[in-house]
Structure 1
């Protein structure tokens, strides 16, 4: 294998890892400052509402009966 190819691959990997590390550092610094807390709280509430909807669909007797019929 050519040494130039190896150097390019190593630089690409190191660059990608460094980019991800800086991105994560910025994200956690932003969250720690409290600016992103309200956004996360709103997103969590939206996810909880969606989960409740999915739970009601899955626990519905008509849904369970339909699944049993489909299995047969």
Structure 2
């Protein structure tokens, strides 16, 4: 294998790992400073609403009837 290709691959791998490390550090700094807490709380509230919607769909009688018909 050509040494140039190996060097390019190693630099790309190290660069990718460094980029991910910096991205994670920035994310944890935001959480530690309290800036990310509001965003996470909003996301949790949205996910709870989506779960409630999905639960209402799954427990709906026509949906259950359709599932039983499909199983036959």
- Asked if TM exceeds 0.5, the reply is yes
What TM-score does the superposition give when structure 1 sets the normalisation length?
A: 0.92
- Determine the C-alpha separation between the residues in 1 that align with 2:31 and 2:46: 19
C-alpha RMSD of the superposition: 0.9
Unaligned runs of 5+ in 1: none
Deviation at 1:41, TM superposition (A): 0.5
Unaligned runs of 5+ in 2: none
Segments ≥4 residues shifted beyond 6 Å: none
Aligned residues, how many? Answer: 72
What TM-score does the superposition give when structure 2 sets the normalisation length?
A: 0.92
Is the helix fraction higher in 1 or 2? 2
